[in-house]
Each structure stands twice: as C-alpha cells, then as structure tokens.
Amino acid sequence: MDNLAFEMQEDGTQKASSMGKTSTFSKVVFEFPGGAIQWARYRNNIKDYLSDEEEAFGTSLNSLRSQMTLGTLRIKSKGLRAPHWHFNANEHGYLVQGTAWIGVVDDGGEVATTYNVTAGQVIFFPKNTLHWIKNVGHEDCFFLLFFSTHDELQTLDVDDVFFSTPEDIASRSLKVGIIDTQRTIEFNIHIGDVVFFPIGTQHYIKNTCDEELLFVLAYSTGDQVQTLDMDDYFQATSDHILAQLFFRKQSEFKKIPKFTEDQAINLP
C-alpha cells in the first residue's frame, strides 16, 4: 500500500499525494440538517469506505500507526453537534470560522463546564468525556478536528443512548445490557459467569432475582475510576441543549427531578 498524504479543502475536493504524484477527487461529506462532517479515517469494515481513495488513505493511517484521525465539522447558525463522547480517543479542535458555545460534563456529572470559542481558538475533549458544541453566531462554524487514534473512532451520542435503552429491562433472570456505537446487546448471566464492559460503553445491570446480587468487579486502571451515570449527565446537560436534541420544549426538561441521593444503585 502506497503512503498517502491527504489535504482537505473547502472547494469541494480532496487532494491526495502518493509516491510523489498528486491527484484530486470528490470529497465525501456526511450532511445533516444542522451541518456536515467530513472524515479522513480508518474503518474496520472495508465496505464502509465510499471510495477507493478513502479506503487507501484510511488503510494507510492504520497501517502506519499514525495515532491520528482527522475530520472537519461544519455547524449551521443555531445548529448543535449533539452531546456525545468518544470511547477511544482524545479530541483536539481548531475553530477556523464562527462562534461556538461548548459544554463539557465531568466525571460524576457534578460540574458542567461551558465556554465560548471564536475563530482561531483551540478546544480539547479528553477521551470518554461528554461534550457538545452549539453554533451561537450568524455564520457557519467550521472546525478542524483531530482524534488521537488510528483505529476506527468509536463515538456514542446521548440521543442514541436513550433510544437504545430498552423501556423494560426486567425479566425472570438476571439481565445485563451493553450499549455500544451500533446497537444494544442483552444477555443473561448466572452464578460463576464473567462479564466484560469495554471502556466508554454505556451499560446497566438489573437484579431480577429474589435474592441479593453480589458481583466481584475489577477495573483495568491504577488511577481513580472515572464513572458517569446516565441520570447525572442528563441533569448536567443544559435544558435548551436537551430540548434541541429531542425536539421538545425546554420547559419539559425543567420538570425532571434532581435526586438528593446518589442513584448509582436504586430501587423501583
């Protein structure tokens, strides 16, 4: 595989250089109602590439262990990049054009940090940190985004989490669920079984037995475990961000009660 250099341009083309030769081809842009995202990335499934050039570049990124995935993000005026987090990469960004309002929810959901950025400023979101970006100006926002992985970027949006979580997870046996970037997986476990939750995956456990449930849990870190519960990040996210995300009135989210006690383990 030839090594490729890749240049993103705003004139509707991408420029790739291989073995000293340069070629130009149409760029792949994913359009959304509130803006657009363009990627230079590796895909685990070769069928997910939309062109031979995209495949060549993505494969080169991965094979050379570049520790880099590149994207551009364009957000229309009043548009919102939905609250989300990335399982496997830190995110660095440079705002080329526009004015944006940034929100970041920390470990535990106790503090939501918000700030404005203007053209020429840099942003950073640590891996597995919930964040959102809203265009608060009159012109489009245009970001250059850099992610610290050469593997396929794993991202989960808050609305996908809510729509993927079953309304009723009760059953006659113990049921465990994992929500990843593609789907919700449920399975039964019994005494002596082992479970595994990858870093960043939203997961839940419900005891549907008559006796108490006792788990022995181990985490792959020597540092403090950082955990964010769904109720915590829901409360920490601004009402008007949730309203825009779910197409509801802002007043509906103000009615959600704030718990006085930690709900990490609760009862009906």
The C-alpha atoms of residue 250 and residue 240 are separated, in whole angstroms, by 5
The C-alpha atoms of residue 178 and residue 49 are separated, in whole angstroms, by 27
Indicate the pLDDT class of residue 102, thresholds 50, 70 and 90. very high
Q: What pLDDT does residue 173 have?
A: 28
Q: What pLDDT does residue 20 have?
A: 40
Q: Which domains does the chain have, with CATH numbers?
A: 4-156 (2.60.120.10), 160-254 (no CATH)
The C-alpha atoms of residue 262 and residue 171 are separated, in whole angstroms, by 25
Host H or E run for residue 231 = helix 230-236
Q: Over range 117-130, report the average pLDDT.
A: 95
Q: What pLDDT does residue 182 have?
A: 56
Residue-wise pLDDT for 209-247, tens only, equals: 888 888 888 999 888 888 888 778 888 888 889 899 988
Q: What is the pTM of this model?
A: 0.77
Highest mean pLDDT among 49-58, 147-156, 244-253: 147-156
Beta bridge partners, 25, equal: 14
Average pLDDT taken over every residue of the chain: 81
Contact between residue 148 and residue 67 where contact means Cβ atoms under 8 Å apart:
yes
Comparison of pLDDT for 251 and 123, the residue scoring more: 123
Q: Over range 190-205, report the average pLDDT.
A: 85
User: For the chain, what is the total number of helices (H) and then of strands (E)?
Assistant: 5, 17
Q: Answer yes or no: is pLDDT of 81 > 60.
A: yes
Q: What is the largest CA-CA distance in the chain?
A: 69
Indicate the pLDDT class of residue 107, thresholds 50, 70 and 90. low
Q: Answer yes or no: is pLDDT of 10 > 90.
A: no
Q: Over range 58-76, report the average pLDDT.
A: 91
Count of other CB atoms within 10 angstroms of residue 112: 18
Indicate the pLDDT class of residue 127, thresholds 50, 70 and 90. very high
Host H or E run for residue 243 = helix 239-246
> 2, 108, 111: which is closest to 53 by C-alpha?
2
